[in-house]
């Protein structure tokens, strides 16, 4: 196992997924890729005003994801001697995680089973289930 991809969403369960992924990475001496997917669909409907501001919003969303969720973890884990990379991208959670796993040649995907709010739980629970069904690499689901 060379590369482990872990999906986080800012929830406790996502945090447990990260801890598990870190243990696995240390044990296998593998690289860790931490991903945060910002739920987004190319087929939504929006007002002209929203479209005009979309690029700015996207940059803000990415910046928030990087500075609040990814960078603190990446810095902490790097300091502990792991090879870590943080990625944020917009898209459908399942498809985007698979795409990122493919792009970075990850050998396994680690995700939490549930997210933080009931709605997110459905979405993220859906993510674990969706990954189990369509991921080309093994999936480790953390409760």
Partner 1 sequence: MNWKSLLAACLTVLTPVSVTAAEGVDAMIDRAVTPLSDALSAVIFYEIPIPFADQGIPFIVVWLVFAALFFTFYFGFINLRALKHAFRLVRGDYTPPEAAGEVTHFQALATALSGTVGLGNIAGVALAVSLGGPGATFWMIMAGLFSMSTKFAECTLGVKYRNEYADGTVSGGPMYYLSKGVAEEWPALAGLGKVLAIVFSVFCIGAAAGAGTMFQTNQAFSQLVNVTGGAESPLGGFGWLFGLVVALLVGLVIIGGIKSIARVTEKIVPFMAIVYVSAGLMIIGINIELLPSAFSAIISGAFQPEGIYGGFFGVLIMGFRRAAFSNEAGVGSAAIAHAAVRTDKPVTEGLVALYEPFIDTVVVCTITALVIIVTGSLDPTGQIAGVELTSRAFGSAIDWFPLVLLLAVLLFAFSTVISWSYYGLKAFTYLFGEGQRTELVFKAMVLVAVVLGSSINLVSVMNFADAMILAMSVPNLIGVYLLTPVVKRELTNYWSDYKAGRLKIYR
Give the residues lining the site for partner 1 (CB under 8 A).
Answer: 38, 40, 42-56, 58-59, 61-62, 89-91, 96, 99
Please state whether beta strands 108-112 and 31-39 pair in parallel, antiparallel, or not at all (unpaired).
unpaired
Closer to partner 1 by CB, 42 or 81: give it. 42
Shortest spacing between CB 31 and partner 1, in angstroms: 21
Q: Minimum distance from CB of 16 to partner 1 (Å)?
A: 27
From first CA to last CA, the distance across the chain in angstroms is: 22
In the complex with partner 1, the residue whose CB is nearer, 23 or 50, is: 50
Tokens of 33: 């890729």
Please compute, for residue 31, the number of CA atoms within 13 A of its CA located in the half-sphere on the CB side. Answer: 11
Minimum CB separation from partner 1 for residue 136, in Å? 16
Q: What is the dihedral of CA 77, 78, 83, 86, to 10 degrees?
A: 70
Q: Decide whether 42 or 118 has the Cβ nearer to partner 1.
A: 42
């Amino acid at each position: 196992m060379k590369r482990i991809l872990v999906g986080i969403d800012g929830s406790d369960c996502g945090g447990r997924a990260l801890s598990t992924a870190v243990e696995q990475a240390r044990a296998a001496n593998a690289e860790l890729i931490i991903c945060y997917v910002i739920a987004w669909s190319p087929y939504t409907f929006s007002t002209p005003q929203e479209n005009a501001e979309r690029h700015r919003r996207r940059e803000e969303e990415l910046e928030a994801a990087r500075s609040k969720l990814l960078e603190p973890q990446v810095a902490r884990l790097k300091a502990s001697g792991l090879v870590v990379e943080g990625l944020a991208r917009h898209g459908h959670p399942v498809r985007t995680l698979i795409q990122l796993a493919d792009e970075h040649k990850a050998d396994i995907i680690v995700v939490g089973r549930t997210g933080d709010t009931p709605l997110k739980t459905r979405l993220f629970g859906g993510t674990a289930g969706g990954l189990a069904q369509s991921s080309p690499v093994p999936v480790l689901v953390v409760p």
